[in-house]
């Protein structure tokens, strides 16, 4: 990469290549500088430190996730929206396990906007069930925990038994959809 082409966005691009190839633990300023063909101090013109770079990486990954999940639920509602959201989220994690592992799961200043997009998509998908206010937040947390937990375990090859993972995930989706329908303020499944 030519020095003139270096920018904060380009630094994140390089960081993601490192993360994709070697995992989030390999992300250092020295590794980014070496990959970019510059001296480490040159990076400080574009990022303050490694912590900021990690935030920028997290924000980019959350943005990618929001784009894919948002596209999957577009034009869908209720059960269909939840199913497509969960499938798209899992696909993203399995296609980019190291990127997803690099996401700072707790909100930090640099990731709030991108993380809010993901949350807004979940809340929109849950609206058909009648969830509002704190009930919507609780439902979104359950949804996030289910899809995140399964996808992380699968990406880390933590399911050792031979049963088909697609079938297990389909059952998880069905359980979650049933729970959302039964737990909705309307008391009945939204269709």
Q: What is the per-residue pLDDT across 128-151, written as a single tens digit (0 to 9) for each?
A: 999 989 999 999 999 999 999 999
124, 74: one domain? yes
Least confident of 63-67, 77-81, 166-170, 182-186: 182-186
Instruction: Note whether 31 and 14 are within 8 A (CB).
Output: no
Say if 143 falls within a structural domain. yes
Nearest Cα to Cα of residue 153 among 83, 89, 69, 94: 94
Taking the CA atoms of residue 107, residue 111, residue 113 and residue 117 in that order, the dihedral angle to the nearest 10 degrees is -80
Query: How confident is the model over 160-189, as a mean pLDDT?
Result: 89
pLDDT in the model for residue 109: 86
Taking the CA atoms of residue 24, residue 100, residue 56 and residue 8 in that order, the dihedral angle to the nearest 10 degrees is 70
Say if 95 falls within a structural domain. yes
CA 161 to chain centre: 26
Task: Note the pTM of the prediction, 2 decimals.
Answer: 0.91
Is 187 a residue whose pLDDT tops 50? yes
Q: What is the per-residue pLDDT across 29-67, written as a single tens digit (0 to 9) for each?
A: 999 999 999 999 999 999 999 999 999 999 999 999 999
CA–CA dist 170, 168 (Å, integer): 5
Banded model confidence at residue 191, pLDDT cuts 50, 70, 90: very low
pLDDT in the model for residue 108: 85
CATH code, domain with 132 = 1.10.357.10
36, 87: one domain? no
Q: What is the per-residue pLDDT across 89-143, written as a single tens digit (0 to 9) for each?
A: 999 999 999 999 999 988 888 899 999 999 999 999 999 999 989 999 999 999 9
Residues 6+ apart with CB under 8 A from 190: 77, 78, 79, 128, 129, 130, 181, 184
Parent domain of 15: 1-47
63, 42: one domain? no
Mean of per-residue pLDDT scores for the chain:
93
CATH code, domain with 29 = 1.10.10.60
107, 19: one domain? no
113, 22: one domain? no
């Amino acid at each position: 990469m030519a020095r003139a082409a270096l920018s904060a966005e380009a630094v994140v691009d390089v960081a993601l290549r490192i993360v994709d190839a070697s995992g989030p633990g390999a992300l250092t300023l020295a590794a980014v500088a070496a990959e970019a063909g510059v001296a480490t101090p040159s990076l400080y013109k574009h990022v303050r430190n490694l912590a900021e770079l990690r935030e920028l990486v997290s924000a980019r990954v959350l943005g990618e996730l929001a784009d894919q999940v948002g596209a999957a639920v577009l034009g869908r509602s209720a059960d269909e929206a939840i199913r497509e959201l969960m499938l798209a989220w899992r696909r993203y994690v399995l296609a980019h396990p190291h990127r997803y592992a690099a996401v700072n799961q707790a909100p930090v200043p640099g990731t709030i906007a991108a993380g809010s997009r993901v949350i807004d998509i979940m809340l929109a998908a849950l609206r058909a069930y009648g969830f509002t206010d704190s009930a919507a937040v609780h439902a979104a947390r359950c949804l996030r925990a289910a899809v995140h937990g399964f996808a992380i375990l699968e990406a880390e090859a933590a399911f050792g038994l031979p049963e088909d993972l697609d079938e297990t995930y389909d059952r998880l989706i069905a359980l979650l959809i049933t729970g959302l329908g039964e737990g909705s303020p309307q008391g009945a499944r939204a269709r």
